Amino acid sequence: MKTLNLYGEQDIRFEDTPVPVIEKEDDVVIKVKAVGVCGSDISRYKKLGPYVEGMTFGHEFAGEVVEVGPAVERIKVGDRVSGCPTFYCGTCHSCLKGNLSQCEKLTVIGARHPGAYAEFVNLPAKHVLLLPENVDYDTAAMIEPSSVVAHGFYRTSIHPGATVAIMGCGSIGLLAIQWARIFGAKKVIAIDIDDRKLDIAEKVGADVRVNPKNGPSHHQVAEVTDQIGVDLAVECAGSPITSEQILALSKKGGEVLYMGIPYAPIDMERFYFEKIVRNELKIIGSWNAISAPFPGEEWSSTLHYMSTGQLNIKPMISHRLPLEKGPDTFQNLIHQNVSYVKVLFYP
């Protein structure tokens, strides 16, 4: 089968790999219909390199079941599915406490297990999610990133009537805008330096758009919150700059949720650090998307809100490409030769 395999920094290859087969009694082999490019994929491709040389990359996908192991009962050939790509050990201190996302050996397909930039992928049955009839493959390929965002929101104390600022309107930020609405936000402020992404942010539910090129974000946010600030500020860009700027957006006693990962040192100005102390902010980190019972409420909630249409994925998809375009696409992504929002590959 055709796959995209990562061999080193900026070395991803479109090549043939053996089709996965049933090896364990609970295995499920899935024909991949759509698979998304994650920001973590871009970072690993650009400057981190593979965990295992030559590993088939990718972990956000949906597809059709083509084979099941003898012990599989809930899933049958022909089912439309997505999958939770995350593995936890079940024996470390965090797992024993039920904090699966904090597992000491947490990993995903595409890292140490063959991933979904492929014609077929293999997962244990408990990782496989049946799709509602009205959720198409393009939408379902976004179940994993949506669950990542939901996991973060579940860690906050957001309540109906809250004001929320989302900094960074890539795919995670655009999902965060929609989850803020689902959690009851009365006002959602979208922040990005790309006006095209702010246009999409408005389409998926943002009330206010802020472009930092027009002035400091915290000044613009103050103007639309009666100089108070927001109840919750969510960092989704994963840059050193936004990682400090986000701290100036929340009101006194407010919350800051970090979901982006900056792959560079963060040098914080005193102005921003003092916001943590003087405003008595609650700082929340969020990692991955799983909880107990596995895979967690993040996944069932995502499926529900996708089926109701409250999670609107289509405006986020900027490019639909054949898998063979993978090497060129990753080069374009890191060099920003093309304006991408969310890329889907079709193996």
- pLDDT at residue 337, as a whole number: 75
Q: What are the boundaries of each domain within the chain? A: 2-146+289-346, 156-285
Same fold, 2-146+289-346 and 156-285: no
Residues sharing a CB contact under 8 Å with residue 250, sequence separation 6 or more, in sequence order: 165, 229, 230, 231, 232, 233, 256, 275, 279, 281
- pLDDT at residue 70, as a whole number: 97
Q: Pick from 7, 53, 61, 9: which is nearest to 37 by CA?
A: 61
Q: With the CA atoms of 322, 328, 334 and 340 taken in that order, what torsion angle do they form, in degrees rounded to the nearest 10?
A: -40
Q: What is the CATH number of domain 2-146+289-346?
A: 3.90.180.10
Q: What is the CATH number of domain 156-285?
A: 3.40.50.720
What parts of the chain have a pLDDT lower than 70? none
Task: Decide if 40 contacts 346 (C-beta within 8 A).
Answer: no
- pLDDT at residue 336, as a whole number: 82
Model confidence pLDDT, tens digit, residues 219-260? 999 999 999 999 999 999 999 999 999 999 999 999 999 999
pTM, 2 dp = 0.97
